[in-house]
Amino acid sequence: MTQPAVSFDRSSENPASGPDKLPGLTPLAVILIEIALAVGGFGIGTGEFVIMGLLPDVATSYNVSIPQAGYVISAYALGVVIGAPIIAILSAKMTRRSLLLCLMAVFAIGNILSAMAPSFWSFTILRFLTGLPHGAYFGVASLVAASMVPPNKRARAVGRVMLGLTIATLAGTPLATFMGQVLSWRAAFFLVGAIGVITVALLWYFQPRDKVKEGASIAQELGAFGKTQVWLTLAVAAIGFGGMFCVFSYIASTTTETAHLPTSTVAIVLALFGIGMNVGNIVGSRMADVSLKGTIGGSMAFYVVVMLAFATFAHIPVMLYITTFLVGCGFACGPALQTRLMDVAADAQTLAAASNHSAFNIANALGAWLGGLVISWGWGFAATGYVGALLSALGLGVFLISVAVEKRQAAA
């Protein structure tokens, strides 16, 4: 392969450089690497969420019920939760470039094989396997992005990588869902697999070769789980973000059953949520570079208020639109939590950063489960907002404990 046309100037040291940093790169090179990483995030986000709109088609294709078809969503989420820490540990001696290429290759192959799965159970197993690289990819991609910029711009770099995920909720998932409904649900997964292949090519071409961090080992990565602050930060994500997933999991039913809007408006509500996620990601990453802890604590407090407003006013169409958008904006906490994990993990950053997305998927499962409980108890779909407010308040409480413990340790 010919050398990239992009110049990777290594004559000057990046202000953020250190033993774990990429050497100084030209601004264009940094942009192209971030784009390559974000394209991977776009593919992963599209692949994760597209199945939700295609469940009826999958169920019909394999002659199973829709609830049974829902197992494939759980299988993918389980793959994310299990895969992130295991891959981060076992890949301790790999360079980040090699690891990203391998992860995205597995993701691409998994989606292509999913599109050709002959039976429901083979499809379910393939969704589990395809979910394995999800968390590790975002964790390592965030570390690579942060290594290319000065310390005071890390959260924005992480946010630009996560922009691929948030744009997927707004554009990638609707496009793939439409393709799946018009052609076949299998075509949607072929599309996601193709995005994975494109990402591999972009990373191979634009990301410079790096070296394994000195002293890197499985034992060193496992050290992340011995740090109290790592566990507390992961708990903030697993509990605090449960509120967002609680509301989002039942937003379609809330739109039609609580606000009494026609089914056609569900797409508008989902779009507002996606726009909110993108706004939150952009604004939140900038805020995090100014005050990391302030952004996390402020976002959790913001969620409590917004969730209560959602529960109270979801029956009013205009308020449903506004509060749904604001629930999406709460994603401002995402880049901040990812960046804080880099700080508290010390020399075990890969495991900690990857585990953040395991925590997000635990939040997904927790929120959907608790939301389903209150609905089954007859409290109505809007009551998911009350559950979300409680989870956000608990997440804020865990974060305040984290800050208090950190201050006490610093004083000691």
Max avg pLDDT among 221-225, 323-327, 328-332: 323-327
CB 99 within 8 A of CB 88: no
Instruction: Concatenate the DSSP letters of all residues of 58-99 into one string.
Output: HHHHHT--HHHHTHHHHHHHHHHHHHHHHHHHHTTTS-HHHH
Band of residue 322 on the pLDDT scale cut at 50, 70, 90: very high
In this prediction, residue 4 carries a pLDDT of 41
Residue 224 has pLDDT above 70, yes or no: no
Residue 346 has pLDDT above 90, yes or no: no
Torsion of CA 86, 89, 91, 94, to 10 degrees: 160
The string of pLDDT tens digits covering residues 86-129 is: 887 777 777 888 889 999 999 999 999 999 989 988 998 998 99
Tell me what the pLDDT averaged over the chain comes to: 81
In this prediction, residue 325 carries a pLDDT of 93
Band of residue 201 on the pLDDT scale cut at 50, 70, 90: very high
Band of residue 348 on the pLDDT scale cut at 50, 70, 90: low
Percent of the chain with pLDDT over 90: 20
In this prediction, residue 215 carries a pLDDT of 54
Residue 70 has pLDDT above 60, yes or no: yes
Q: Which of 146, 375, 145 is nearest to 247 (CA)?
A: 375
Domains of the chain: 23-215 (1.20.1250.20), 217-412 (1.20.1250.20)
Q: How far apart are the first and last CA of the chain?
A: 55
CA distance 100 to 138: 9
Residue 6 has pLDDT above 70, yes or no: no
Among 45-49, 176-180, 322-326, name the one with the lowest average pLDDT. 176-180
Band of residue 12 on the pLDDT scale cut at 50, 70, 90: very low
Q: 346 in helix, strand or coil?
A: coil
Vertex 55: Cα angle to 319 and 65 (nearest 5)? 115
Band of residue 175 on the pLDDT scale cut at 50, 70, 90: confident
The kind and range of the H/E element at 22 are: none
Residues with Cβ < 8 Å from 5, sequence gap 6 or more? none
CA distance 188 to 65: 20
The string of pLDDT tens digits covering residues 259-298 is: 888 877 877 888 888 899 889 888 888 888 888 888 899 9
Instruction: Concatenate the DSSP letters of all residues of 390-407 into one string.
Output: HHHHHHHHHHHHHHHHHH
In this prediction, residue 191 carries a pLDDT of 92
In this prediction, residue 387 carries a pLDDT of 92
- pTM of the full structure: 0.77
Torsion of CA 274, 278, 284, 289, to 10 degrees: 150
Residue 179 has pLDDT above 60, yes or no: yes
Q: What is the pLDDT averaged over residues 230-250?
A: 86
- Within 10 Å of residue 411's Cβ, how many Cβ atoms? 6
